[in-house]
Amino acid sequence: MLAPSPAGFRRLWPLLQPHRPRLLAGGFCMVVFVACWPLLASLAGRLIPAIGEGDLPAVLRNIGAALAVFLVQKAAQFGQDTLLAGPALAVSQDLRRQLFARLQRLDFGALEKLSAGDLTYRLTEDADRVGEVIYKTLQDSTPSALQLLAVLGYMLWLDWPLALATLLLAPVVAVLVSLFGARVMGAAERSQKQVSELASLLGEAIGGLPLVRAFAAEPWLQQRFDAEVDLHRRARYRTLRLLALQHPVVGFIEAAGILAVLLIGAARIQSGGLSGAGFSSFVAALLMLIDPIAHLTTNYNEFQQGQASLRRLRAIEAEPVEPPDRPGARPLGQVRGELVLEGVSFAYTPAKPVLHDLSLRIAPGQVVALVGPSGAGKSTLFSLLLRFNTAQRGRVLLDGQDLADLQARQLRRAIALVPQQSRVFSGTIAEAIAFGRPASASQIREAARLANADGFIDALPGGFEARLEEGGSNLSGGQLQRLAIARAVLGNPAVLLLDEATSALDAEAEEAVQRGLEQAMAGRTVLVIAHRLSTVQEADRILLLEAGRIVEEGSHDSLMARGGRYRDLCQRQLIRIEG
């Protein structure tokens, strides 16, 4: 699992910095948008008395002014929303990009622990949610908070004693409402619990019906059931009654609060502290507080969800990345392809060693078949050669140089992998062979020729420019394998690591792949995890690995003659006879 890491939206601030001009322009629109609210409240204060007095010219004048203010306000809102959307989106995309880059550098152990589905969710849904929260914060919460402040300021300016009284009253109303709400919910939950009794009795009764009938106890059970139904009905009724009480009581408390404001307002008008028009403006302003409060509460909930998303995203940063090359790591020159293991021991977890004190030398150009039961450590050996993992003891050498002293990227160009599953990315055939490396069309064609893939590629509509569907679903298994071989030999690697596919192809496809492999292997050091008899027969040397140790070694014939574990494997058909 991913460990939580300190997270907070504040740490995203640097990502917003480059967008300062847009943020400032958006902020300006926001100020205009917010400033319109007190203006509208003040217009309402003039309009309402004018309506009461039947002063049509004043009504028309104020309505015209209000319309103009609304127009400006909505235009400013549009400006604010569009100007702020860009930076908010950019932040979530930057975050996504940063985390994807991090993902590409993650340590293999860490990567394997994470599930693909989970990571996909994080980099899509979670990143989107974070973007939405940033957008909401910029474009909704901030103006709502400003609106709250501006309107409250306006109310204080209009008549501070009334505004203060309202400010004191509002929390009282809020506390009363929430207290009552909590009591009702508590009582409702308690009576709801009784409802489950009915279900448990039913469960018991249905299972026991034959027994009840056998004892002629039906009237007894019916009585019990009726009693339970009655309890159930009463509990439900109590719940409904409590809930029914909630609306009127809450409504009454709120109404009393508003009436109290009206009463204080009337007193203020009486004492000459406030005009009728001012009071109308005050009530209009009061109404303008409802919306931003509602927005801020909803956004707060979303903000908390967003924080959980951000935490999940940030947790990727806590995972270890692949160690960087050692300072002074050497570039590789011309590689001959000699591989040497010197007393190599490796374990993924300390409690479970996987490779034990492995020593061997593979001469340049030698073809070595690795065989052995599943779990013996064959793939682990490959992972050490590619430096996906590092041995805890011993050294792995390529042409006499410790792999740990080489530049990882160069090492991985000198040692190429043909994986068991020929996974390809969507794109053109040429792109799949080049796989991000600079390569000319003729180099790509040559790699394809070596892999015996040029024939089928030329036959495709578009040839090397033909498109591969996702996962290469428009190619056959054998064609995909040959493509994977072409990809491996493109950079002319000195060493080939081959993880032979376990699933059988038909004879013709098998032969085509085989021919590609033979051509690709020529002149290179090859280490092959072998499943086919023909592969092991043709290898210069066979290593039988069991539980992380080389237990037998030699040619196919000598090992068969020895009649040991290797012959066992062949007889149990763990090495396939075909092709």
Binding site for ligand ADP (CB under 6 A): 112, 348, 354, 372, 374-380
Cβ–Cβ under 8 Å, residues 578 and 513: no
CB of 338 to ligand ADP, least distance (A): 23
- Specify the amino acid at residue 47: L
The CA distance from 145 to 184, in Å, is: 31
CB of 543 to ligand ADP, least distance (A): 12
The gap from C-alpha 37 to its chain's centroid, in whole angstroms, comes to 40
Phi/psi zone of residue 394: left (φ > 0), alpha (ψ -120 to 50 degrees), beta?
A: left
CB of 374 to ligand ADP, least distance (A): 4
Closer residue to ligand ADP, CB minimum distance, 11 or 113 = 113
Burial class (CB in 10 A: 0-12, 13-18, 19+), 51: middle
CB of 379 to ligand ADP, least distance (A): 3
**What residues contact residue 318 under an 8 Å CB cut-off, 6+ apart?**
2, 3, 4, 5
User: b or e along 398-421 (b: 16 or more beta carbons within 10 Å of the residue's beta carbon)?
Assistant: bbebebbebebebbbbbbbbbbbe
CB of 382 to ligand ADP, least distance (A): 8
CB of 312 to ligand ADP, least distance (A): 23
CB of 112 to ligand ADP, least distance (A): 5
Cβ–Cβ under 8 Å, residues 340 and 360: yes
Indicate the helix (H) or strand (E) that contains 531. Answer: none
Phi/psi zone of residue 367: left (φ > 0), alpha (ψ -120 to 50 degrees), beta?
A: beta
Closer residue to ligand ADP, CB minimum distance, 433 or 545 = 545
Cβ–Cβ under 8 Å, residues 531 and 572: no
The CA distance from 176 to 172, in Å, is: 6
| Spatial strand order in the sheet of 401-402 | 352-362, 339-349, 393-398, 401-402
CB of 542 to ligand ADP, least distance (A): 15
DSSP structure class, residue 505: P
Cβ–Cβ under 8 Å, residues 310 and 9: yes
